[in-house]
Structure 1
Amino acid sequence: MTRAQQIGVIIGLAIVAAFTVLRASDPPLLRQIRDITFDEYQRIAPRAFEPTPVRIVDIDEASLKEFGQWPWPRDRLALLVQRLSDLGAAAIAFDVLFAEPDRLSPRTVMRDVAGVDATLLSRLPDNDELFAEAIAGRPVVLGFGLTTEGNYRPPVKAGFAFTGENPVNAPPRIDAATPVRPQLQINATGLGHISLNPGNPSAVVRKVPLFLTDGEQLYPNLAIEALRVAQGASTYVLAAAPEAPDTLTSVKIGEFVVPVTASGELWLYTSPDVAERYISAGKILAPQGVDPQVAAAIEGSIVFVGTSSAGLQDIRTTALGQNVPGVSMHAQTVEQILTGHYLSRPDWADGMEILAIAVLGTILVVLTTFVSPAVALACGLCITALALAASWLAFSAWGLLLDPLAPIIAGSIIHFAATSFRILVIDRERREVRRAFGQYLSPSLLYRIEHTRNALRLGGDDRELTVMFVDVRGFTELSERLQPAEVVRFLNTLLDALSRHVTANEGTLDKFIGDSIMAFWNAPVDVINHPAKAARAALAMRETLASLNTSDAFGFGQDYQVGIGVGIHTGLACVGNMGAETRFNYSAVGDAVNVAARIESACKEVGFDILVSESTAAELPHFALLDAGLLGLKGKSSRARLYAVVGGEQVRGSSAFAEMQRIHTELVAALRTHSAESRKMLNIAKLKAAELTAILPQFYSRLGRRADHFRDNPGNDDDAMRTGLPRETKLHLEP
């Protein structure tokens, strides 16, 4: 790991820690994003409306048009209660406040008329008394609201039992309530608060508090009080978490056990607002009586009395984005309990999401730092898809609300930050490597260098290299015949075509020296079986040159064929960045480089295009090689044995080469003994060579001339296959 990578990981992990702490603090923005996500889930798959014994008697526009504006006199509400009770309603819950006396009551109206006798006034009916008499003994639940004024607390009509500690401090707080008319609160079977989201600034109703508390007493809401009264139950059973007394887990209402949040709230799983839920109040109050279909809908149902009239301003927004009457939310609460379709956010959800940010963020930091940005992005997208899929599966299959966006948003920002740091810092080093080596190395080698520390360090290392020199035959004569621009065009065409085989075989292009190429293998990183890869590159150059000549790619015509010589040697050399601190080249120096250059020069004397040293030949057991004799190297006291590379593995395994190799071995033995049969065997070798490859006949022609020379001038060396003469002698052979 480079220092830049270490810094990148440290910075990335610091960002991960910051997001983990931010999620643990759960600021309002994150809560809002989480709520919107859960809203979208409900919009995709809302709770289906199922017929249940729950109905809304709606004081709608039609009812107001028929019976007058709101508020109605309470004797009319008394009539409504009587008819609903006679129709068999299991419970009648009013989503209406009865905090003030009925201003339309005859007694109230006449009290303000001057001169009315008190005795007469006492004989006039009082609508509040009529309404109180109507609800007495009937399953009626009245509602109360919340206020910040006064200290009124409504009486509680139900008892409470607890499994574990008393969770009286768990629900939202109530400071004071709107008073309910005394005679009404006494005669009502149940009292419940009608607040849907107290203290929540959001207009969307997502959770309904089933209880409120003043620190001493719990107060149920209208919906569960209606459900309790409908069942004839007298007690709520609240279950608290054993390890957290002020944390609720469930509420038992008669026969129904309801899972709740820690503060006793019910997540609303909303269904679309449908007409089947509503019955117009005018149909119940119709003078001609109640329609049988309406009567059947009321019988045995929990009936909520409320209003959908926009003018009465009791309109709420659901998670589905619909604006519905507030009474609909109470009805849906009971529907949800009756059908058993719940949503829940487990206690471990927050911890899991925080852990997901920490773990996934760490993974993204590591991926972004150590693999390519494309791979890191692909992994990030996969993680995002898995988080969304897991969250959706939890919602659709088990009703669990798990937030996928917090880890996704945090992961995206972490990935962006880590990628930016990588581009600005880490990849800057790799871009320098690419600028230095991009033209000389294969992509695979370049990738390995990018991930190697100190790749651009000034200095060298001793390594075993396979060094190659390539030179154009007859270039000096050719350049005299061509214009300078034509020479440049020729060299660009040839050297580009040949050098591609170096990088394709994991070699390093060192430099172009006029019409020559210098390349080496096994640096700057290790290359497995580098002598064989150098030999394959040389054979590929031979084929490419033949193709260029055949297609007349140089424009010289078929009468002139361009030739090359390739020398390859494997040995120890010093390789590295050489030059100044601000300007240097990656190159190799040493005896192995000099030997390779001398072998390339020997190609002209030997009459073969690809020659390798004995050390290289030892690493090419599967290549077709022929002994080319000894070479007197300039500056070396001893000669080096060379081998001609006839072909690769395919040629090595052919029967033609096996026969050629047998003949060549016998020829070399005959030449060494100056046998009279050597000339005959040389002719046989030429004929056989012509069948194998076009380059071999020239090789044997020169071999014959050298053998004749050494037969006539034996010198001090008994090896008739040696190439070159004693240093005081020069030999000029015709091409």
Structure 2
Amino acid sequence: MKRRLPCLSLHFILTATVLALAVALRILDPDPVARLRLSVFDTYLNLKPREADPTFPVRIVDIDEASLAKIGQWPWPRSELARIVERLANSGAKTVAIDLILAEPDRLSPAALARQAETRRELAPIVAELAALPSNDTLLASAMTKLPVVLGFAGDIARANALRTPKVALVTAGDDPRTFVPRFPGAIEPLPELAAAAAGEGAVNWLPARDQIVRSVPLLVSAGDTLAPTLVLEALRTGMGETTAFVRASGGSGVLAFGQETGVETVRIGATVLPTTSDGQLWLNFARADPRRYLSAHTILDGTFTPEEVRSRHILIGASATGLLDLRATPLAASVPGVEIHAQAIEQMLAGTHLTRAPFATGAEIVFLLLAGVLVSVAIHRSGALAAAVIGASAVAAVATGSWLAFSEGGYLLDPVYPALALVGVYLTGSLLSYIRTETDRARVKRAFGHYVAAPLLEQLAQDPSRLKLGGEMRDVTLLFADVRGFSRLSEGMDAETLIRFVNRLFTPLSEIILAGRGTIDKFMGDAVMAFWNAPVPDPGHAAAACRAALAMQHEMRRLNREDAARNAAEGLPHTPIRIGIGLNTGACCVGNVGSPERFDYSVLGDAVNVASRIESATKLYGVPILAGERTVQEAPGFAFLEIDATAQLSGKDRPERLFALAGDERIAQSAEFRKFAACYAALKSAAAADGETMQDKRTACRAALAALASAHPAAMSLDGMLEALATGPNT
């Protein structure tokens, strides 16, 4: 009982500590936690973006590359903007919002041109005429009187000027919204002449997250201590014919907030209620980009557009041309014109399909975290880790499902990931204590051997830790060496991280094949792997198992090369096939723990190991994927072997070796096509040994038989290289 009580106390103390840290971290909401939450919402939006109204009530008059090519470089004379506004008005546009800041007089106005002409005597007759013409800004102001036009201004942290009184009447309820919305000391405003003719002015500032992705758009800003609307809010208001916007902040709903200032809650234009974040921003429920939103500006100027595309619609004038630098990242695209984000915001407001992060969302997530965390902790202590895992997984599934349904059905943003991670932390803490109490010996063995010893040996050692000692035993084993061909050339130009990913991607499936075939991975050596069979667990068919693994590894390389070729082709990149050579050898070796009492490996030692390594190197010389020694062929008689050299002189070995190419498994070995190729190959070798007069005919017959084998059995290994080696000798 005395021992149990401290364990019980420690269990719940650690659990309470983990939960307290998780809650504190969520309240502080550091950047990594916020980014994690936002990435979940981005994923949801990619899975189910807003369905755009097929009539597209908002259209964009786009200053695109085609318009710049036809009209000329930007900026255009504002007389051109005046023509666009007039034609939009004549076509029945509901409202026009110009997503540009027209803060300075047009330098292309007649008076400005007259001042430039004064320095040239030959132009004196036209100076007076130019000076008498109305300015381009006057033309634009005149055009703006024909329909509601909204101009943009920019909040500026480098200025400290008072903002002009907004055209909209902003009625507030509750706390002062200026306390919460984005604040700027001053602003860059449109020309007074243009502002006087405009139906409204709105801020065009963007406030992306720290990852520079735009997920929301402000509806209100404070500039020069004046509360002002943004461009999208004014575009909506003028299009609806309203004069007033109602802003409700904390304390303005008649519900007690317990002294807490929770920020802006809603903005209302007429009957349209817009839910906001605490700082007065609208979460954007993006739809996919669609070219039907756009009208090229030059089609408006040359009159080739269809008036029905403009009639009764909200129109935005903005730029998508790359050189004008109005591009933003969104959850759905890495680069979107800023004017489209404004257009989508207005579409969303008209449709009422909003995303909402309710004020109580954070509190609800914390409450769920605490309740589920306590439940998992109690389950670990009373019922064990498995029952707790079931409860924890059920809780995670519930919060994930609830979060998705809240998003997909109601547009509510609830974070499932952070509560789930906190539950994982609670579960791991409790499980760790249980693990330490009940499995100390097994943990010690697995920590020592789990990263380099085969699973069967690991289980044996876990059951009998006394085997953790130096020493070994003699045993027949089949060894496999596999090496990447041309690794230096393949890795040229790769940085360290890319090279590691390349090697891991290559050796992960190859290792799985070895382990699935009851093999033991001895070690990885850069671009090579060494494995052996028949130890630590006896396997009477170890040679056949090694041959099957070698064939499976080559088949896996074919699959990886096909995937790489398809991916590179899609990306327009060249493809260099990755090839491996495999050497097999069977012989007596000493198998056991090798090293020192403090650090040792389970490995094999013996001459057969060296021979297997040299056989693998010989695959390059003979041009075949898999080579095997004579003993391996004897112990795997059913496989498709061909003798490639009866007196091979391996590097560093005095005794010659018989080498055999492995072409396939038992099914291929029994096929008529393989038997025919084997006969042709034997005849070709005999001809090469006797004289060279009939070599060409026999080589032609041999190639035909090899082609027939490859056609009938695509799984057969490629043996073209061995024919070349027979004709020219090994590729020394």
**Structure 1 position 429, deviation (Å):** 11
Q: Which one of the candidate residues 69, 72, 82 is aligned to 2:73?
A: 69
The 3-state SS of whatever aligns with 2:268 is strand
Partner of 1:304: 316
For 1:25 and 1:12, locate their aligned partners in 2 and report how far apart those are by CA, in whole Å: 20
Per mean C-alpha deviation after superposition, the further-off stretch among 102-111 and 327-336 is 102-111
Partner of 1:239: 248
The question of whether the paired residues in 2 share the 8 Å contact of 1:137 and 1:187 is answered with: no
Partner of 1:366: 378
For 1:136 and 1:23, locate their aligned partners in 2 and report how far apart those are by CA, in whole Å: 52
Q: Which one of the candidate residues 200, 204, 207 is aligned to 2:216?
A: 207
Supply the AA of the counterpart residue of 1:129: T
Partner of 1:87: 91
**Structure 1 position 240, deviation (Å):** 2.3
Change (3 A) 1:253 1:370: same
Q: Spell out the pairing of 1:713-728 with structure 2 (5 A cutoff).
A: none
Give CA-to-partner distance per residue, 1:247-280, whole Å, 9 cap, x none: 2221111331111122211110000010111111
Supply the AA of the counterpart residue of 1:226: A
Change (3 A) 1:73 1:128: same
**Structure 1 position 34, deviation (Å):** 0.6
Q: Which one of the candidate residues 254, 268, 280 is aligned to 2:270?
A: 254
Residues 1:151 and 2:160 aligned together: yes
Q: Spell out the pairing of 1:579-658 with structure 2 (5 A cutoff).
A: none
Give CA-to-partner distance per residue, 1:130-161, whole Å, 9 cap, x none: 21222135311111122222223244111112
Supply the AA of the counterpart residue of 2:71: F
The 3-state SS of whatever aligns with 2:172 is strand
For 1:246 and 1:173, locate their aligned partners in 2 and report how far apart those are by CA, in whole Å: 17
Partner of 2:142: 133
For 1:360 and 1:245, locate their aligned partners in 2 and report how far apart those are by CA, in whole Å: 29
For 2:165 and 2:391, locate their aligned partners in 1 and report how far apart those are by CA, in whole Å: 60
Give CA-to-partner distance per residue, 1:614-644, whole Å, 9 cap, x none: xxxxxxxxxxxxxxxxxxxxxxxxxxxxxxx
The question of whether the paired residues in 1 share the 8 Å contact of 2:87 and 2:300 is answered with: yes
For 2:435 and 2:186, locate their aligned partners in 1 and report how far apart those are by CA, in whole Å: 60
Give the alignment's Cα RMSD to 1 decimal. 2.3
% identical equivalent positions: 36
**Structure 1 position 44, deviation (Å):** 0.5
The question of whether the paired residues in 1 share the 8 Å contact of 2:65 and 2:321 is answered with: yes
The 3-state SS of whatever aligns with 1:96 is coil
Supply the AA of the counterpart residue of 1:282: H
Residues 1:193 and 2:203 aligned together: yes
Partner of 1:553: none
The question of whether the paired residues in 1 share the 8 Å contact of 2:111 and 2:135 is answered with: yes
Residues 1:414 and 2:417 aligned together: no
The 3-state SS of whatever aligns with 1:203 is coil
Partner of 1:171: 181
The 3-state SS of whatever aligns with 2:99 is strand
The 3-state SS of whatever aligns with 2:195 is helix
**Structure 1 position 413, deviation (Å):** 2.0
Q: Spell out the pairing of 1:401-550 with structure 2 (5 A cutoff).
A: 401-425=413-437, 428=440
The question of whether the paired residues in 2 share the 8 Å contact of 1:52 and 1:338 is answered with: no
For 1:148 and 1:207, locate their aligned partners in 2 and report how far apart those are by CA, in whole Å: 21
Supply the AA of the counterpart residue of 1:44: L
Supply the AA of the counterpart residue of 1:97: I
The question of whether the paired residues in 2 share the 8 Å contact of 1:154 and 1:180 is answered with: no
Change (3 A) 1:150 1:388: same
The 3-state SS of whatever aligns with 2:100 is strand
The question of whether the paired residues in 1 share the 8 Å contact of 2:14 and 2:429 is answered with: no
Partner of 2:42: 39
Q: Which one of the candidate residues 254, 279, 295 is aligned to 1:263?
A: 279
The question of whether the paired residues in 1 share the 8 Å contact of 2:19 and 2:370 is answered with: yes
For 2:184 and 2:308, locate their aligned partners in 1 and report how far apart those are by CA, in whole Å: 39
Partner of 2:190: 180
Give CA-to-partner distance per residue, 1:211-239, whole Å, 9 cap, x none: 00148421111111011111221110112
The question of whether the paired residues in 1 share the 8 Å contact of 2:113 and 2:130 is answered with: no
Q: Which one of the candidate residues 305, 312, 327 is aligned to 2:339?
A: 327
Supply the AA of the counterpart residue of 2:247: L
Partner of 1:598: none
Partner of 1:15: 18
Change (3 A) 1:354 1:246: closer
Give CA-to-partner distance per residue, 1:361-391, whole Å, 9 cap, x none: 2222222233222222222222211110011
**Structure 1 position 114, deviation (Å):** 4.1
Change (3 A) 1:260 1:132: same
**Structure 1 position 326, deviation (Å):** 0.4
For 1:419 and 1:167, locate their aligned partners in 2 and report how far apart those are by CA, in whole Å: 49
TM-score for both structures, normalised by structure 2: 0.56
TM-score for both structures, normalised by structure 1: 0.56
Task: Flag structure 2 segments of 5+ consecutive residues without an equivalent.
Answer: 252-256, 445-732
Give CA-to-partner distance per residue, 1:90-129, whole Å, 9 cap, x none: 1000111112222222321331344477855531442122
The question of whether the paired residues in 1 share the 8 Å contact of 2:186 and 2:224 is answered with: no
The question of whether the paired residues in 1 share the 8 Å contact of 2:101 and 2:154 is answered with: yes
Residues 1:219 and 2:228 aligned together: yes
Supply the AA of the counterpart residue of 1:126: S
For 1:426 and 1:366, locate their aligned partners in 2 and report how far apart those are by CA, in whole Å: 18
For 1:170 and 1:148, locate their aligned partners in 2 and report how far apart those are by CA, in whole Å: 17
For 2:156 and 2:6, locate their aligned partners in 1 and report how far apart those are by CA, in whole Å: 63
The question of whether the paired residues in 1 share the 8 Å contact of 2:276 and 2:283 is answered with: yes
Change (3 A) 1:282 1:360: same
Change (3 A) 1:215 1:424: farther
Residues 1:347 and 2:362 aligned together: no
Partner of 1:441: none
Give CA-to-partner distance per residue, 1:456-487, whole Å, 9 cap, x none: xxxxxxxxxxxxxxxxxxxxxxxxxxxxxxxx
The question of whether the paired residues in 1 share the 8 Å contact of 2:114 and 2:131 is answered with: no
Give CA-to-partner distance per residue, 1:376-430, whole Å, 9 cap, x none: 2222222211110011111111111000011011111222222222212465599
Supply the AA of the counterpart residue of 2:393: L
For 2:89 and 2:220, locate their aligned partners in 1 and report how far apart those are by CA, in whole Å: 27
Change (3 A) 1:201 1:290: same
Q: Which one of the candidate residues 299, 305, 316 is aligned to 1:283?
A: 299
Q: Spell out the pairing of 1:87-126 with structure 2 (5 A cutoff).
A: 87-115=91-119, 119-120=128-129, 122-126=131-135
Residues 1:25 and 2:28 aligned together: yes
